[in-house]
Every structure is written in structure tokens, then in C-alpha cells.
Amino acid sequence: MVNFLKYTWLYLLVSAIVIGGGIFSIIKWGYNFSIDFTGGTNLEYQFSRLVDRANVKKVFVGSKIETMEIRQTGRVFSIRTKAISDAQETELIKKLETELKTRVTKLRSETVGPTLGKETMIKTLVASILAIVGILLYMSFAFKGFNFALAAVLAMFHDFLVVIGSYSLLSHFFGAQIDTLFVTAVLTTMSFSVHDTIVIFDKIREYHKNEGRGEIINYANRALTETMVRSLNNSMTIIFMLLALTLMGGSMIRFFVATLLIGTITGTYSSPFIATPILVFLERKVKK
Amino acid sequence: MLLISVIWIDLPENLPVRLPIGKSKIEFKINPLTIDTQIMGVTIKKEFKTRLGLDLQGGSHLVFETDSSKIKSADLTDALNSARDIIEKRVNFFGVAEPVVQTIKSANNYRIAVDLPGINNVNDAIALIGQTAQLTFNEEGTAEAKIATQTPVFLRLTKETGLTGRDIKKATVQFDSQTGKPEVGLSFTAEGAKLFGEITKRNIGKPVGIFIDGMPISTPTVQQAILDGNAVITGTFSVDDAKKLAIAINSGALPLPIKLIEQRNIGPTLGQTEIKKSVLAGLIGLTMVLVFMIAYYGQLGVIASMALIIYGLISFAIFRLIPVVLTLSGIAGFILSIGMAVDSNILIFERIKEEMRKGKDFDIAIRLGFGRAIDAIKDANITTLIVAFILFNPLNWEFLPQFGMVRGFALTLAIGVATSLFTGVVITRRLIKMFYKK
């Protein structure tokens, strides 16, 4: 048996650094919100020949379309603007084609009205809170103890902070945007986090059942020792999958998969190193 | 016991048989029904086609907000439903395969979402869908007729005659026999014909206006009473315009005005490259997982890999059976569920190893290992199912997400997890028993 819990302070320190960095980034740089939340238009055009970014910008200015961002990957341009109408877009494409002497293939265009954004946010929040309540209820029932549920949910909250914090960094350095896919990724992380924690708690529950109420810290250490290989192996397989998708998958889901990757890592980490110490702490408090 | 185990073993063996048939239907158009009915009964009378979402196939997603301010709340549901039906009729004109038109309620706003897979001329579609197409016939009000002969003719036509688009049986595109210009011919219902006859009779020598959504389309001066129930809308429109007008009139007027608030167009090429890349990446990821499992767990790993492949086939069959519309986020949900399916196997194997370390027989270790692992698997998967359930929002509650991406994700995740509960435990166990008896 390895005394994992001896180094609880170290685990908390690592988490504090990661979360602290994330929160620093959130405060300092904030996020890029996608048009899902702010409203606006996203255009993705492919040009038949390589054109200069500045010239593209010029056409937009000439058409009196306010652009927030123009990104170029070879012949493909991703442009974000204030919400424009179809007529405006048709005219814009015509202008781009004549002024830049190129053919434009429309890969994607999205326009979202500004009212939808807020709604999406609120609905997602409500869904998450409901999901948390659901998990609390189910775990309290399955583990016959509120402490298990609380520890799992707190660890989940930890993962939530890690993911939204690191996404702010991704957002700042790589231009990732907060969109509905990101929201999906966060929710996935949260469910994975609990999934992972339950496996360890299941062990502790088993010792309780077989050997009666012993010292929780011993049970916890034993559980960690016995599940460590499984935790690592399991996360490894998911990480293989996600790594392949991040590096090679399509550009539309790249940040989504990257977020899932971060979520998986923190979800795996938090189960033994955050959830379990919290459980031990809670159980000990009850005894006193 | 024996019977059950035969069924259990049968299922995984039959599934791969069924799937290639399902697949070959797409490629060779062979009808799979005869074999399917033999295996699973009548319920399988479905086409096994993979349905791709807009983001993979290309197409347009449009959301319209309705303006319900002029409608009594009691009539609102009817109005919305008929608006949806009318939009569906109009969309069908574009020859779109499997359009999806649905109403969404959100707080006090009623919306209509329209999915048009594989469409190119979105702007035309939007214009046609968005047209209220409220057709009215107006005549001169008594007051205006006296005052102003100077004002443009359509401004004087303020009195509604009571004749509307509802009295029209059919609108067709035809061409003027003299000028060759396109025009829209109207034939009235019996009642409409009578009404139109009366209107023309009392307005001989005066203009009668045809208005669509309050805009004058044509304001001919009546030459004589028209009693045969036919009328013609002339104007300066192109053949296309005339066609659209005819469709709009034929599909009926929208009972309430709508406004476009969201629009997403995805070109077909983008979706294809995304699929190709993601499938390749997924395969590589999967191979790595299988190699890892076999390298680490040896024989057990081989079994787990087999179970995993069977799992993939079953899930895929279910996706086709329901059918689930596969989107990018849906595929992500599926991949996550694969991860969780692998987890079930790892949990079981670790438990078996643990029991063996305690010096138990292999047979007993397997039985105990499965029994022990099942608790953790059950609890872990049920919590995931709870989350997926809330995200999927099956009752369509308006305070939960109603957007497609999140729901697509939740649905494949839920199916995946539910399937993995089955394959991870039942099939792995069967396979182990099968292999170790030999």
C-alpha cells in the first residue's frame, strides 16, 4: 500500500497553480465569445488563388462591413463580422471576386441574432445545475452517504475550474472561441470526472461493507493503490483517442477535442488527488 | 440458462452479418429486409442508412422568430402548426431531401427552425420561406375616390374586399399570349369566384388592387365583370419570381409574420474533409487503444478488443436503427462512450487480476472479478446517463438546451454508454468463457 494521501498538500498546490493560472488568464484576457453567444456573422471562404489578407480587409471596409477578426489559413479565410444580411453577403462575394480576381467558394456562413446568445448561456447553466443535483441525489443514494456525493461534486467543480481556466489560455493564444461545442465539452468533462471518481469511491464503499467502519484514511490509501493502474490505463486509452483527434482531426472540432483532452487529464487527476482527500477530510470531520 | 447463453452468443455473431447487409444496401441497393425479418422480426423493416447532420453533409440551418403579437393566445398553437406545415410545403419545392421543420418555444418567443440539407441557393429559400404571402384584393374606398385622382392608384385602394388567398384554388405560372411575359394565373374556389364576380361587377371602370403582404403587386382597371372564377396577376416579374409567387400563394399564407434570426450554412466540401480527417484520426486512436490493451493485458486484451469492435458495430447499428442524425458533436459523444466502454473492460480485468493475486482460481477469479466490478461500472455509467439525459432534454423543456449540437452529443453518448453496459459486461464475459473453455 502506498501512502498517497501523505502528499495531499502537493496535490492541492498543483491544482492551485493550474486553477490560479487559469483564473489569472480569465481576468486578464477573458474569452473570445463565438457568435453563438454574442450574435454576428461568421464567414469561411476559400479563394481560388492565394490573396493578401490586407486586400481582403480592404474589400470589407469598402463594403462597409465591420469585421472583428480575419484569419487566414492558406487560401481559406475565416472572417467574423457584425451580423450581415444575405443580400450584403451576395454583394460582398461579388466584390471579392471582381476586386481580387479570384473565385470564392463559400465553405460556411453563420449568422446568429444577438438575443439567442444570452438564452443559450442561461439554459446551459440551468442544465448543469440540474445535472449536479441529479448526481448528488444519485450518489447519496448509491453510496448511502452525502459525503461521497459532496466530495465527487467538489472534485467536479475543481475540474470545471481547470477547464474553463485553461480554455481562456487557449482562447488567448490560439484564438479558441467559446461556443456551444465548448459548453458540450465542459459538460462532458464534468460527467467524466464523476465517472472516474466513482470507481475509487466504489472501492472505499466495498471496504466499508466488508470490514466495517475502519480508519477512512487507510481505506482511502488502499483504494488508491488498487485503482491507480486502472485509472492510468483508462485515461491513457481516452487520451490516445483524443490526442489523435486533436492532432489530426478536422479544424472544426479541434478546440472541442483539446478541451475534452484537458478535461480527461484533470478528471483523472482529481479523482484520486482531490476527491479522495476531500472525502477523507469530510469523513473525519463527521467523526469528531 | 443454456438458451439464454445461446441467445447472448447469437447476438454478437448475427450483428456483424446484419451490418454488412445494411451497408451493402447503400452500395449495391440489395434489399436486406428478408434476412432481417428472419432474425429480429418485423420491427426491423427500416432502411439502414447512416444519416449525416448538416455540419457533415453541408446545408443550411435557419431559425425564424414568429411575431405572435397579432394573434390571440388561444389560436397560437394552431397558427404555429399551420405555419410549420406551410413552410414545409414551400421547402419541398426546393427538392431538399429530408428537410426538418420544427417549432421551438422559448420563454415567450416561438421559433421555427428549418434544416435544409445539401442546399445551394439558400437566399432563395430564405426569401420564399419568409414571405408571409397574405394575398388580398382591395378596391377604392368611397372617401378616397372622391378626393384624389392625383394620388397613385394603389394608395387609393384602401378598402379590403374580403377576398383573400384562402379563396384561391390554384395559382399557376403562365405567359401572356401577346407579350410573352410571365404572369400568375389564379383560379378561385366556387365561393371566391362568386365574390370576385361581385367585386368586378361593382368596380367596372375602376381599379382593383392585388396586394401581397400589403404590397401592391398589380392594380388593373376592371374592364368587365369576370364571372368564370379566373384572374391573372401581371407585373414586371421574371419567370422565377412568378414561380415563387405561385408557390407562395399555393402553399397558403403564413398565419403570422416571421423573421430570420439565425442562419448557418455549411458548404458540402467542408463537411467531407472534416469527416475524412476525423474518421482517420478516430481509426488511428482506436488502433492505439487496441494495441495498448493487447500489450498490457495480453489474452484478456485481445478479448477486450473483440468486445470493443462488437460494441462499435452494435452502437452503429442502433444509430442506424433509430436513426440518429450523426453530427460532429455526436461523433465526439460516441468517441467518449468508446472510452467509457474500454473503462468497463479495464475495471473488470483489474478486478480479475486482483482476485488472482489473492490466489484464487482463474475461473473463480473471473466470476468474482465481474461481480465486484459491476457495482462501479453501474454507478459510473448511471451518472453519465443522468447527465446525458438532462442534456438531451427529451421532454423538450424550454429552460434546458434545445440546440442541436448539445443534444446530438448527449444522444450518442447515452446510446454508447447504454450499449457499453451491455457489451462491456455481458459480451466480454461470454467471450472469456468461450475462449477459456477450449
- Distance of alpha carbon B222 from alpha carbon B210, whole angstroms: 12
Chain A environment of B284 (Cβ under 8 Å): 244, 248
CB within 8 Å: B282 and A241: yes
Chain A environment of B335 (Cβ under 8 Å): 241-242, 245
- Distance of alpha carbon A48 from alpha carbon A97, whole angstroms: 10
What is residue B29's predicted lDDT score, i.e. its pLDDT? 32
Domains of chain B: 59-132+258-265 (3.30.70.3400), 135-251 (3.30.1360.200), 267-437 (1.20.1640.10)
What is residue B126's predicted lDDT score, i.e. its pLDDT? 76
Q: Taking CA atoms, what residue in B is nearest to A253?
A: B328
**Residue B437 CB partners (closer than 8 Å, separation 6+):** none
Task: Report strand pairing: B230-233 vs B215-218.
Answer: unpaired
Instruction: Return the CA Rg of chain B.
Output: 31
Q: What stretch(es) of chain A map to CATH 3.30.70.3220?
A: 40-112
Chain A environment of B277 (Cβ under 8 Å): 248-250
**In angstroms, what CA-CA distances link B84 with A270, B5, B60, B76, B107?**
48, 50, 17, 12, 19
| Best A73, A128, A188, A222 residue to mutate vs chain B (most B CBs within 10 Å) | A188
Question: What's the one-letter identity of residue A201?
Answer: F
CATH 3.40.605.10 assigned to domain A40-112? The reply is: no
Chain B environment of A240 (Cβ under 8 Å): 285, 288-289, 292
What is residue B46's predicted lDDT score, i.e. its pLDDT? 39
- Distance of alpha carbon B60 from alpha carbon B54, whole angstroms: 7
pLDDT(A137) > 50: yes
The residues that bridge with B208 in the sheet, in sequence order, are B139
Residue among A123, A131, A256 whose CB faces B386 most closely: A131
pLDDT(A284) > 80: no
What is residue B15's predicted lDDT score, i.e. its pLDDT? 40
- Distance of alpha carbon B35 from alpha carbon B39, whole angstroms: 7
| Whole-structure pTM value | 0.68
**In angstroms, what CA-CA distances link B195 with B215, B228, B289, B295?**
22, 11, 75, 85
Chain B environment of A105 (Cβ under 8 Å): 267, 269
What is residue A7's predicted lDDT score, i.e. its pLDDT? 74
Range name among A231-240, A243-252, A261-270, B56-65 with the lowest pLDDT average: A243-252
What is residue B5's predicted lDDT score, i.e. its pLDDT? 40
Range name among A56-60, A124-128, B1-5 with the lowest pLDDT average: B1-5
CB within 8 Å: B403 and A120: yes
Tell me which residue of B331, B362, B295, B356 sits closest to B52, measured CA to CA: B331
CB within 8 Å: A240 and B388: no
Chain B environment of A227 (Cβ under 8 Å): 350
**In angstroms, what CA-CA distances link A15 with A25, B281, B397?**
15, 31, 37
What is residue A172's predicted lDDT score, i.e. its pLDDT? 78
Residue position matching grid coordinates 459486461: B425
What is residue B339's predicted lDDT score, i.e. its pLDDT? 76
**Residue A62 CB partners (closer than 8 Å, separation 6+):** A95, A99
The class (CATH top level) of A4-35+115-287 is mainly alpha
The residues that bridge with B87 in the sheet, in sequence order, are none
| Best B61, B350, B358, B417 residue to mutate vs chain A (most A CBs within 10 Å) | B350
Q: What stretch(es) of chain A map to CATH 1.20.1640.10?
A: 4-35+115-287
Query: Can you give the three-state secondary structure of chain B, one letter per residue?
Result: CHHHHHHHHHHHHHHHHHHHHHHHHHHHCCCCHHHHHHHHCHHHCCCCCCEECHHHHCEEEEEEEECCCCCCHHHHHHHHHHHHHHHHHHHHCCCCCCCEEEEEEECCEEEEEEEEECCCCHHHHHHHHHCCCCEEEEECCHHHHHHCCCCCHHHHCCEEEEEEHHHEEEEEEEECCCCCCEEEEEEECHHHHHHHHHHHHHCCCCEEEEEECCEEEECCECCCCCCCCEEEECCCCCHHHHHHHHHHHHHCCCCCCEEEEEEEEECHHHHHHHHHHHHHHHHHHHHHHHHHHHHHHCHHHHHHHHHHHHHHHHHHHHHHHCCCEECHHHHHHHHHHHHHHHHHHHHHHHHHHHHHHCCCCHHHHHHHHHHHHHHHHHHHHHHHHHHHHHHHCCCCCCCCCCCHHHHHHHHHHHHHHHHHHHHHHHHHHHHHHHHHHC
What is residue B51's predicted lDDT score, i.e. its pLDDT? 63
Q: How far is A282 from chain B (nearest CA, A)?
A: 21
CB within 8 Å: B285 and A106: no
Q: How far is B376 from chain A (nearest CA, A)?
A: 5
Chain A environment of B339 (Cβ under 8 Å): 234, 237-238, 241, 264
Q: Taking CA atoms, what residue in B is nearest to A36?
A: B262
Q: How far is A124 from chain B (nearest CA, A)?
A: 6
CB within 8 Å: B406 and A107: no
Residue among B275, B285, B376 whose CB faces A244 most closely: B285
- The predicted model gives A170-198 an average pLDDT of 79
- Distance of alpha carbon B178 from alpha carbon B164, whole angstroms: 28
What is residue B26's predicted lDDT score, i.e. its pLDDT? 33
Residue position matching grid coordinates 446568429: A112
CB within 8 Å: B277 and A250: yes
pLDDT mean by block of 10 residues, chain B; 438 residues:
40 41 36 37 42 70 77 74 78 69 71 76 73 74 54 65 75 80 82 82 79 73 78 76 76 74 71 71 80 83 80 73 71 76 81 80 79 80 82 62 68 84 74 68
Question: What's the one-letter identity of residue B164?
Answer: T
Tell me which residue of B62, B111, B234, B233 sits closest to A109, measured CA to CA: B62
- Distance of alpha carbon B391 from alpha carbon A224, whole angstroms: 31
Which range of A80-89, A113-122, B8-17, B314-323 scores highest in mean pLDDT? It is A80-89
- Distance of alpha carbon B181 from alpha carbon B137, whole angstroms: 22
